[in-house]
Amino acid sequence: MSNTNGVKYAAIQRHDLGVIICKECNTVIGTLPTNGYKKFYGHCNSAACLEKKKAVDNQK
């Protein structure tokens, strides 16, 4: 039996295993704290990627 009197428990530290990847240029935009490895796709703020996104949106 352990003695835990007076011991403050630290918060469980979450790791940033979620990765946000640009759909157009495949660069890593950022990371997210997730329980496992996950990929999310979005668009970065570079001018070339935003132009490609607009072109695809206009075709719909």
What's the pTM value of the predicted model, to 2 decimals?
A: 0.64
Name residue 8's amino acid.
K
Distance of CA 20 to the CA centre of its chain: 4
Name residue 39's amino acid.
K
Give me the residues paired with residue 40 across strands.
Answer: 20
Give me the residues paired with residue 55 across strands.
Answer: none
Q: Quickly tell me which residue has 């007076």 as its tokens.
A: 6
List the pLDDT tens digit at each of the 60 positions of the chain.
Answer: 445 454 444 444 567 889 999 988 999 999 988 888 999 999 899 999 888 888 888 887
Domain ranges of the chain: 18-59
Q: Exposure of 14 by Cβ count < 10 A (0-12 exposed, 13-18 middle, 19+ buried)?
A: exposed
